[in-house]
Amino acid sequence: MTHPDVSYPRNADTPTSHLPFSPSVRFGDLIFISGQASVDAEGKIVSDTFEGEFRRSIENVRKVLAAAGSDLAHVIQTRNYVRDAADVPLYNQLYREYFTEPYPTRTTITNCLPPTLRYEIEVVAVKRPA
């Protein structure tokens, strides 16, 4: 049973997955985005350098946020998963390209992903004002 104020926004750009999860859930003005990784439109993993996977993951977040009525400027929290701790300095550098002060709250966990992924991110955002 779903709550009447809960929606599951998607559009043609929203990456899909064969796994049992919704890309986003919106409750009022809050938007919860499931972990986005370096995947193509059909959810197939696209292996790349850390930078390539980071950028593809963020672009997937952008697509999911757009479908839900938001964007990166309205992200209030991020949870980040970095496979190799050695990539953390590059991760911090790239992160600053996409998120600016005042930064969203952030958690970063390292040494946690399978060998097929270098990076994954999930976010909480608010809806863009009308």
Which is nearest to 41 in space by CA: 65, 17, 23, 58?
A: 17
- Distances 57 to 15, 28, 50, 53, 82 between C-alpha atoms, Å: 10, 25, 10, 6, 12
- CB within 8 Å of 2: residues ≥ 6 apart: none
Asked if 106 and 78 count as a contact pair (C-beta separation under 8 A), the reply is: yes
Token pair for 81: 């998963």
Structural domains of the chain, with CATH:
6-126 (3.30.1330.40)
In the prediction, which pLDDT does 8 show? 67
> What pTM does this model have?
0.89
Q: Express each pLDDT in 22-59 by its tens digit.
A: 777 889 999 999 999 998 888 889 999 999 999 999 99
